[in-house]
Amino acid sequence: MRLAIGSDHCGYTMKMQLLPYLKENHEVTDFGCYSTDMVDFPDIARKVCSAILKGEADRGIMFCSTGCGAVIACNKIKGIRAALCHDRYSAHQCVEHDDVQVLGIGGEVIGYYTAKEVIEAFLDAEFSQGEEFQRRLEKLERLEAV
């Protein structure tokens, strides 16, 4: 899978801890940040989401202190669905039911092993093609026009 990943300065440490694991199993493009120097997460979120919308990446992962800001930023971009997940169930369910493309993780909320499990669940999941899920996805897309 082609992954677009990014972080702000608060999520940098966890991103760097998980980067070797991600690169073992996936084609990874890291859109920053590249140190613990302060950076604004919306700037990185834009780059990660742009790669997905252009078809350069299949999914994205954003790391910040709580994951909340990164997810808010991603969800502001038309065509992107992002979810904050700190457990396996939410991580696979958000893809299966809502076709989420970007996972938000709080680098100061969960540890390495839990984050790894959450990422695995997110990346292994596929969107369910059931009529009810497709109908809901279409309704979500119409909300972007409001």
Please identify every residue annotated as catalytic. 64
Per the CB < 8 A criterion, the answer to whether 63 and 70 are in contact is yes
Closest residue by Cα to residue 59 from 29, 85, 88: 29
CA dihedral 131, 55, 67, 143 (to 10 degrees): -50
Closest residue by Cα to residue 65 from 13, 101, 130: 13
